Structure 1
């Protein structure tokens, strides 16, 4: 039986200081500095995952490795976290330290595209087809296995022709949200809607919008 845990409980587990929970699960970014070092870390992650029979998503780039964890066995809510995730996260961080690799939480984020629609069931299949995605839940296309940002559809009550109908949702760790917002404002952005601490809607100098949202610690699935 898989026991679902909240984001807060994940963060309270020992050895997971490198990790942050966002809309795509628990994630950590490890700064390797070279491709060879990254491969060595990925090899260790593979060994740990096989031993635990619990498998993360791993992205290897020249200078770093990003790892995302969620529990695939219980997917009724889209994704959930369990104690299996916190245990493997701690093991991966320990393996990184043994290889002399440090983590950089400022590189951890998750992004989705939000589309306002009057008739979601009519619009959603188009985006699933054109992106090569699958219908996911009642309001999304993509899901945990999607290659690229998740797409979420927000119900509109009436047409809004003078307002953007597509915007970006950016999920960042709560401790990094203020700095990210400050940087965006310094770069010419403005605050369109302050709904903090849940989210802030920012706009670029031409009015294109992005919602910056810290991920809540009380969340247990999506």
Structure 2
């Protein structure tokens, strides 16, 4: 799968590329030449990311719309384990999808990670994933795989004031089989409101999300959410919360300011402006939120969880306390 990012001045400009590609894909499927290969499209306030097997058609469509190729790196996380199949099954169940790959671990690392994972899903999905497992931890939501990698699997509820949206740290909604018309409408509404949205267009449907805590920090977001669900209802669409998930990563640190400064600069992230919040976030809203927690005593062991930045000529880098990332140019 190849990935490209195009800079765009608005959600609407990015949605135009999504609509353009959808028309072309429909034509290709109608001829019977290619039944698969429909691209995954992520529309944002400042551009659009496209992932596809072949980017030739994507590039041609972007040129027609006057979009310029830019730079946007993808941050991912991998877990190293002695028994990858078993550990992969656990994480796929917790996240509801294979979004965190598990690789083989060359050496045992029995101590606790300094990096941990939060997954927030609708309450019913969390209960299904837990099964008979009993959560623990300070908030009563922590589960661990057989090798000690921990996840806080957090239940979320419907967003008050809406019928379709869920509050999963991020406000989110998913419409199966949504037409590109809804992508365009949501983009136009977001631009008019001046609120950044994440519009993830997939063959199976459209997922729309705001930034973390948006409905609490921006009173106008609720109006935008109501407008979007109204547009969806006009199209006869019904929301399905099952695929929704919010994932963020926490780093425990002895020197939180130093470690946070490293990751802010390394990832090109921005700091959350709230004084009591340690979050840093991707200004393009493509990569997950990171947050930082105070560590009371050193944990010198290498993590089994590490970050990866997509790119060629990758090399291993570490922050001031030894947390690792594979980075490429």
TM-score (norm 1): 0.54
Q: Which of 86, 91, 94 is the aligned partner of 2:227?
A: 91
Using the TM superposition, give the Cα deviation of residue 148 of structure 1 relative to its aligned residue in structure 2, in angstroms: 0.7
Residues 118-156 of structure 1, C-alpha deviation per residue, up to 9 Å, x if partnerless?
A: 111111222122222123345222166542111111110
The residue aligned with 1:152 is: 291
> What is the alpha-carbon distance in structure 2 between the residues aligned to residue 29 and residue 66 of structure 1?
4
1:183 aligned residue = none
* Match in the other structure for 2:248: 112
SS of 1:102's equivalent in the other structure is coil
* Alpha-carbon distance between aligned partners in 2 of 1:166 and 1:150, rounded to the nearest angstrom: 16
Separation (CA, whole Å) in 1 of partners of 2:219 and 2:269: 29
Structure 2, unaligned stretches of length 5 or more?
1-157, 307-329
Over aligned residues, Cα RMSD in angstroms?
3.4
Which residue does the alignment assign to 1:136?
272
Aligned equivalents of 1:89, 1:107: Cα separation in 2:
18
Aligned equivalents of 1:79 and 1:95: distance in 2?
19
SS of 1:123's partner is: helix
Indicate the structure whose relative CO is greater, using CA pairs within 8 Å and at least 6 residues apart.
Answer: 1
Q: Secondary structure at the match of 1:157?
A: coil
Query: Are the equivalent residues in 2 in contact too, given 1:117–1:154 (CA < 8 A)?
Result: yes
**CA distance in structure 2 between the partners assigned to 1:119 and 1:105 by the alignment:** 38
The equivalent of 1:102 in structure 2 is 238
Following the alignment from structure 1 to structure 2, what is the Cα–Cα distance between the partners of residues 12 and 147?
Answer: 26
1:176 maps to what in 2? none
2 CA distance for matches of 1:70 and 1:149? 10
- Does the aligned pair in 1 maintain the 2:198–2:285 contact within 8 Å? no
Q: Are the structure 2 counterparts of residues 99 and 116 from structure 1 closer, same or farther at C-alpha, using a change threshold of 3 Å?
A: same
What are the equivalent positions in structure 2 for 1:41-120 lying under 5 Å apart?
Answer: 41-50=182-191, 52=193, 54=195, 56-69=197-210, 80-120=216-256
Flag the structure with larger Rg. 2
Relative to structure 1, the CA distance from residue 146 to residue 165 in structure 2 (aligned partners, 3 Å threshold; closer, same or farther) is: farther
The equivalent residue for 1:17 is 163
Q: Aligned pairs, how many? A: 148
Q: How far apart, in 2, do the equivalents of 1:139 and 1:82 lie?
A: 19
Please, what TM-score do these two structures have when normalized by structure 2?
0.38
Using the TM superposition, give the Cα deviation of residue 42 of structure 1 relative to its aligned residue in structure 2, in angstroms. 0.9
C-alpha contact 1:56 1:68 (8 A) present in aligned 2: yes
